Amino acid sequence: MPRAALVLSTSVFACLCLAQGIRVELDGQRANFNDAQPQMIGGMVYVPIRGVFEQMGATIDWDSDQRMVTGHRGSHHMTMRAEGHSAMVDNRAVRLDGRARIIGGSIMVPLRFVSEALGSQVDWNDTTQTVNIRSEDGHFMSKAVRPLKNRRDDGRGKNDQRRGGG
């Protein structure tokens, strides 16, 4: 395939994905994604792993040397390689419905896998193009109550907000 045709077909695919308008809801609250947006690929909804994990109250880490993603939420733990077909979830091997992909610098994974890896239920509404994710306890940890990283206790039970502390 000529280079110009490849660039054009890749651009058209990217535009189609952005125009899909897939909505993701977490316990009834609309999820927002800053960079990469949810996409339908091969009949599955893919999401940026960092965006969905963080909105579900989980932490996510990226090891660029190993090309490994690690996530934690409560008692759930997940590790997987970028562009891999499987992951370790709570010390057991799990096969993904589709392989993880890197799109526009974001690691995109099948939404059902990410949600269920964190102990959630997932439903798809084809009419509204909406994914509904329900947590085990009925509510995801909101950003307003999540502990902030890089805060230090000043010894008096208060967080140090000075240079680099907040």
> Is the domain covering 3-160 a CATH 3.40.1360.10 domain?
no
pLDDT tens readout for residues 35-56: 789 999 998 999 998 988 888 8
pTM over 0.85: no
Between 58 and 146, whose confidence is greater? 58
Q: What residues are paired with 93 via a beta bridge?
A: 88
Q: Is 144 left (phi over 0), alpha (psi -120 to 50) or beta?
A: alpha
pLDDT given for residue 68 in this prediction = 94
* Inter-CA distances, 100 with 40, 48, 97, 124, Å: 13, 10, 9, 20
